[in-house]
Amino acid sequence: WALRKVSEQDSHEFKKKKKKSSHSGNACEVICETGDCRQQEFRDRSGNCVLCKQCGPGMELSKECGFGYGEDAQCMACRPHRFKEDWGFQKCKPCLECAAVNRFQKANCSVTSDAICGDCLPGYVGPFLSLVIREFFFNRRPTELEEQFINHICDKGLSYLEYIKNSYNSIMKRPITQLKYGQRI
């Protein structure tokens, strides 16, 4: 964040506000120093708090704006591998990498939309089977955070199937010679 040059009058006003403020320590210094502009406001040349620019889809501000700073921020295109779908103050978000979650890519990421992932890559199982496997082994539902992760990622299918097969064999004391997707045990 860049600090603007403070005139003698501004400095005097700042000291007056600081003395009158009921805040103490660093909180007051931050609030008073930025001229009491809110989160999405900058101070213009006349000293007024003005709403920061909102950028359209595929665009974000060139620098931080808010709490009195960012008067010269401009909308610019999202950097490579980032996107933003709506108008607003928000920054561009990183694109989903389908390969990182073991899925085929159905649609590329653009500056206005995220990538769309398809089915799991060969040798990986999808979220539902992954969820069933976890419930079977851990005898509990996954936490909300685990479930969000599970809903996106495809897990290594073969290792889980082998794990189920070996676990079943040791628990039931009878072998499963072949285990296929969708087979009831």
Structure confidence by residue, pLDDT tens digits, 76-119: 999 999 999 999 999 999 999 988 888 899 999 999 999 998 88
Burial state string for 58-84 with b = 16 or more CB within 10 A and e = fewer than 16: bbbbeeebbbbbbeebeeeebeeebbb
Contacts of residue 57, defined as CB under 8 A and 6 or more positions apart, other chains included, come to 84, 85, 86, 87, 111, 112
- What rounded mean pLDDT belongs to the chain? 71
Residue 150 per-residue DSSP state: H
- Tokens matching residue 83: 């996107």
- Predicted confidence at residue 9, as pLDDT, reads 43
- Predicted confidence at residue 119, as pLDDT, reads 85
pLDDT band at residue 3 using 50, 70 and 90 as cut-offs:
very low
- Predicted confidence at residue 35, as pLDDT, reads 60
Structure confidence by residue, pLDDT tens digits, 31-80: 444 468 999 999 999 999 999 999 999 999 999 999 999 999 999 999 99
Structure confidence by residue, pLDDT tens digits, 112-157: 999 998 888 887 766 655 556 556 655 666 666 555 555 556 765 5
Residue 175 per-residue DSSP state: -
Residue type, 118: G
- Predicted confidence at residue 140, as pLDDT, reads 63
